[in-house]
Structures are given as C-alpha cells and as structure tokens.
Chain A
Amino acid sequence: MAEKEEKLVFERPKSLLPVVTNFCPGCTHGIVHRLVAETIDELGIEGKTVGVTPVGCSVMGYNFFGCDMIEAAHGRAPAVATGVKRVRPDNVVYAYQGDGDLASIGTAETVHTATRGENITIIFINNAIYGMTGGQMAPTSLPNQVTQTSPYGRDTSSAGYPVRICELLSTLDGPAYLERVCVDTPAHVRKAKKAIKKGFQYQIDGVGYSLIEVVSTCPTNWGMTPQDSFEWMRENMLPYYPLGVYRDVLAEGYESVADAALKRAGDSKIVVEGGAQ
C-alpha cells in the first residue's frame, strides 16, 4: 500500500499555551480563547501583544495566552489596558472580560474607555450569568431568568432591565468598531473569528477602539447540556441581543472615528471650528 502523505489541517494556535484550562465542559470560553489566539498567530503579533484578563471565569487567562499578560481587578481591565496602551502605543493591547466585569462593576471604565476611543480591543463574553461565583444574576441576565440571586426569575420591577452593551456604546463617538457575534455553529464561529480579527486589525491600523461581544452560554450554571444551552441562547438571548455590527466607522463610509464624530456633532461651533475657546 502506498504511503499517504500527512497533511496538517488543525493544530493548537501557538499563542494558546499547552496548559489545562479551568473551563467547564461545553463552555464557550475555550472557543473564544482559540479565536483570539488564532488571530494573534495569523497577525504575527504575539511578541508585541499585551493581554489583560478580568475577574470571572476567564481570570486565569494570563496562564493560557503566550503573550505578556496582566491580571486586573474586577471591572478595571479597560483602565489597566489604557495605562498599558498609553505607555506603549506600538503594542497590541486587548482586554478579555465577562458580563459582570464589563457591564456591572466595570461599567464606568467600559463606557469611558470607549468614549475616549482608546486604541485597544475588548473581547466581551456575555452569557447572562456570573459563572465563577456560581450562577448569580448578571447585568445581562434576561427578564424572568432564574439565577441564584433571582430565584423567582429576574423581576424587572425590582432588578431592572439588562444592559445591551453594543447598543449603549454605539451612542458614543469614541468606538471605531462594535459587533455582536456568537459561537454556536461553525458558521457563527467563523464570523466571530472575522470580527475578532477585524478588531485587532483596526487597532494595528490605528482606526481605534473596538469591542466584540460574544453572546455565550454557561451550561454549568444554566443547568443544561451544552447543546440545550445553545438552544436556550438562540431562543432567548439572540432576540434580546441581536447579532450584527453596531458600529464600523470605515464601513459606514467615514474616514476615521474623528470624521464620524465631527459629522455627528451637527453645527456645534467649537466642535466644528476647533481651537480653544
């Protein structure tokens, strides 16, 4: 029998270190970690990338990625990333955050880093629950969703409504690119990869701030199989958090974030004419 030539079709991304992660079976963090690492490999930027990990399930991310890593306090990753990027504008800086981190305790940092248009990339995992602490209500938990701290379902008359981050940030002038994706099917995974890569590319090209929201699942704390989790996500989360591009200044035909902001400013005299007044 003639020997068949081996062809390598799949391997671990180099910038995703060969270590055991702490993620549960069926968790989407693993997929998104891989997409970030593939992006870093494909862009050839591991040597100049600095990642910032949050507090939450991805807290140990500093051990998983091969680039230089910083562990931030809960919610503060965008502020930490700002500090790094201001010192080293030529480095590629990303923060990887969950919903509690980004949309609850760190909302101020999220909003202000976005409105400053910091030239960094944020990967946002929205799975509508606090995973690491064991399933409490998140800022993105849906109305009526049962969690450990909303045992009768999220009561909007008391707990209010979820935060839609992409929509919220799209009201700001600072962001260059905002997209919401998910990773439940191969097609969606490919799309998510494209979005993540675009975010990094925009940073490298100096276009500016980007945030890629990945609508995700938490089989463990939702109490479902991974497949049922995806089904629940599709039925409940995607209608509430529609996938799509919420901001892409270049695709929208602007030259830059500054150009888009100027056109939004109407005829505000100081904005249009410039100069200190």
Chain B
Amino acid sequence: MAEKVLMKGNEVLAESAMRAGCKFFFGYPITPQTELSAYMAKRMPKCGGTFLQAESEIAAINMVYGASAAGARAMTSSSSPGISLKSEGVSYIAGADLPAVIINVMRGGPGLGSIQPSQSDYWQATRALGHGDFQMVVYAPSTVQEMADYTYKAFDVADEYRTPVMILADGMLGQMMEPVELRDPIEEIPERPWATTGHNNEREHNIVNSLYLDADLLDQMNHERYKRYEKIIATEQASEEFLCDDADIIVVAFGAAARIARNSVRAAREQGIKAGLFRPITLWPYPTEALEKTVAHAKGYLSVEMNMGQMVEDVRLVVGNRAPVDFYGRAGGVIPTPAEVLDKIVALNEKVGE
C-alpha cells in the first residue's frame, strides 16, 4: 500500500490527473483553485507533460479541445466565473464527442460573487453547462481521497463514453489538507482511432467536428449520443449512505455540505432522532436508484446545500409527494454549521412525527 501523504485538495486534483495519464493542462488563474495550476506548472515539465497558462478561460478550454482531438488526455480547471467562460468550449467538446476533464472549484456567485466555498453551480453542471442537447458526467467528491479517486475515474469515464466529465469541488475541498493515498501513474492511455493525429496516408482522414447542417443528421447524432447517456445513467450512478438503513429523516447533501451534514446526523442520532445521510457522488447521472430505495422507510428529506436550493429539485423528482422534502442552504460562500443543520433535522422530525 502506498504511503499516505498530507496534501491540499487542489494539489491532489493536479497530481491525480497526472497519474491518470493527463499530460496536457491548460488553465488560467482564479481563486480558489490557483494551487492546482501552480502545482501543474511546477510538476508537468518534470513529468514530460505540458502546462500552459492560456490567455483566457475560453482559450484554455479550446486548447483542451485541440489536445483531446489530437489524442491526449487533457484537462482544464477553474472556479465558477471561469467555468461560465468555458461553457462554450464544453458544448463543442460534447458535440464533437471528445473526452475531457474539467474541474470546477466552486465559489459564491452570481457574477464575481465571493471567493468563499459554494455549491451554486449545481444547475450549471448538471443541467446546462453550455448550449445544446448534452449532458456531462459530474463527480462531487467529499474528501481529499475522493478527489484523487474520482479524478482517475473521470479520465476513464471520459474516454469510455467520449464525453466531457466534470469534477465539481468547492473552495473548502480545494483548500483543505487531508491524508491521501495516491495510486501509481498509469503507463498508457486507451487507443483513440478517431483522433486527428495525421492519417499518415494509411486511413481516411479523421474529422473532429460538431457542425451538422443537415437537421436529420444532427437529430440522429444527438439520438446516438443520448443512447450513450442512457448507458451512463444505467451504470455510472454513485452515492454513499450513512446510517440510512432505518432512517426516518434523510439528509441529502453532496461535497463539502455532506461533511457538515454528517456531523449533524451524528448529533441527531445522539438525541434519539433516526437520521441518516444520503450523499450523491455522481450529480449527473443523479443516483436516483439508490435514493428511491430509501423512500420505503423515510418519513422526510432535508436537502442541505451551499446555495439557494438547486439539488433539492432532483430529490423532489425522486421522492415526489411521497414524503416532504425540505431544504436548508447558505449562499454566497457561507458554510452552514452543523448546529444549524441539526436544528432543521429536529424541526423536520417534529413535523413528520405529527
């Protein structure tokens, strides 16, 4: 077993990407993810890779598009306002069926917002990061170890389905240090027969493209892509449950908010309230199957988020009106305290106990 090391979340994202065979990183400075770029700038040249500070977030994502088209594992990272700028490029990456990994270390919004941790890009990540019909696999790690594990996974899934994949972290996870065990670097990445590497006069020319002026053809392409999405939905859902088996009250939270909610759930149990934590790890596809299983015994749900209430809609889509679904959130970069969340659990428990 590899030795555990103490590292910042942002640095772990960078190191794990390199170990996953990502040799090309294109970025632009923004708080609170800058350590990731700085780490790449330092380490990439030593590993025979390329770090390039692009002139803009837009250029960075388009460099990823080019590098991926040319057959490399490539990545970019940013924080909320920068991700908005990248959205054009992500749509093109999806439309051209290219694998790519995009990291969002979220901060408060809208606009320039704050630089403190937030989860207010949930809708953007899971619904509409860019124009057009497309989805993107979204991982929400909750520990520094998961930031490593899901970065490896992100590259594999991006390759398997030829799709952009996002790691949705936040300023807290990016800045914090925890012990982490890193895996050995991989030697080779999967083959890419579709890549524009130069045909060497040995095959037809490859074209990487998202333009289909023929409406029927584009319709067909989109249907084909959604077939792949169906497979992703069927096979890639991931979630974690903590004390959910007998829970009356299920707190649903992801990422940093889930860590806080975990404290609150423990405290609620100490008070005799049967509370549990359901933690989605994939935000798209949403872990609907696992959440559905809790509906049989849960009396109420509480979605805890660092935003004004976004994921709660996905919880309601699963639970419907079979149980009340409450929401508690703090926005703008404020991190909810375990005590605040506990109050909401207690209140919900009283409500459903009546």
Chain B associates with chain A: yes
> Which residues of A are at the interface with B, using a C-beta cutoff of 8 A?
46-50, 52, 59-60, 62-63, 65-73, 76, 79-88, 91-92, 108-109, 111-112
Instruction: Pull 22 A–B residue pairs with CB atoms less than 8 Å apart, ordered by A.
Output: A48-B200, A65-B205, A67-B199, A68-B196, A68-B198, A71-B96, A73-B88, A76-B59, A79-B54, A82-B66, A83-B63, A84-B66, A86-B63, A86-B67, A87-B50, A87-B66, A87-B74, A88-B198, A91-B70, A92-B198, A108-B56, A112-B59
Which 4 pairs between the two chains have the least Cβ-Cβ distance? A83-B66, A79-B62, A112-B55, A80-B66
A196 to B73, CA, bound (A): 32
Contacts of B207 in A (CB 8 A): 62-63, 68-71
Structural contact, B52 and A70, CB atoms closer than 8 A: no
Pick the residue among A71, A87, A109, A111 that contacts B209 (CB under 8 A): A71
Count how many chain B residues have C-beta atoms less than 8 Å from C-beta atoms of the other chain.
Answer: 40
A82 to B69, CA, bound (A): 11
Structural contact, B69 and A70, CB atoms closer than 8 A: yes
Pick the residue among B56, B70, B92, B202 that contacts A83 (CB under 8 A): B70
Contacts of A63 in B (CB 8 A): 207
Contacts of B24 in A (CB 8 A): 83, 86-87
Structural contact, B201 and A46, CB atoms closer than 8 A: yes
Chain B, Cβ-Cβ closest to A115: B55
Chain B, residues 25-56, CB within 8 Å of chain A (1/0): the string is 01000000000000000000000001010111
Structural contact, A83 and B68, CB atoms closer than 8 A: yes
A63 to B211, CA, bound (A): 11
Contacts of A88 in B (CB 8 A): 70-71, 197-198
Chain A, Cβ-Cβ closest to B49: A86
Chain B, residues 178-197, CB within 8 Å of chain A (1/0): the string is 00000000000000000011
A108 to B56, CA, bound (A): 8
Structural contact, B197 and A82, CB atoms closer than 8 A: no
Contacts of B89 in A (CB 8 A): 73, 76
A109 to B55, CA, bound (A): 7
Contacts of B50 in A (CB 8 A): 86-87
Structural contact, B69 and A80, CB atoms closer than 8 A: yes
Pick the residue among A50, A83, A108 that contacts B65 (CB under 8 A): A83
At the interface, yes or no: B337 with Cβ under 8 Å from chain A?
no
Pick the residue among A49, A66, A73 that contacts B62 (CB under 8 A): A73
Structural contact, A82 and B63, CB atoms closer than 8 A: yes
Chain A, Cβ-Cβ closest to B93: A73
Q: Counting chain A CB atoms within 10 Å of each CB, which of B55, B199, B205 scores highest?
A: B205
Chain B, Cβ-Cβ closest to A15: B205
At the interface, yes or no: B72 with Cβ under 8 Å from chain A?
yes
Structural contact, B199 and A47, CB atoms closer than 8 A: yes
At the interface, yes or no: B311 with Cβ under 8 Å from chain A?
no
Structural contact, A49 and B72, CB atoms closer than 8 A: no
Structural contact, B58 and A76, CB atoms closer than 8 A: yes
Structural contact, B63 and A80, CB atoms closer than 8 A: yes
At the interface, yes or no: B210 with Cβ under 8 Å from chain A?
yes
Contacts of B70 in A (CB 8 A): 50, 83-84, 87-88, 91
Instruction: Please judge, given known A-B contacts A59-B211, A87-B71, whether A72 and B196 are in contact too, CB under 8 Å.
Output: no
Pick the residue among A68, A84, A92 that contacts B199 (CB under 8 A): A68
B353 CB to closest chain A CB (Å) equals 55
A249 CB to closest chain B CB (Å) equals 22
At the interface, yes or no: B64 with Cβ under 8 Å from chain A?
yes
Structural contact, B67 and A87, CB atoms closer than 8 A: yes
Contacts of B62 in A (CB 8 A): 72-73, 76, 79-80, 83, 109
A73 to B210, CA, bound (A): 9
A84 to B62, CA, bound (A): 10
Chain A, Cβ-Cβ closest to B209: A71
Contacts of A72 in B (CB 8 A): 62, 65-66, 92
B188 CB to closest chain A CB (Å) equals 15
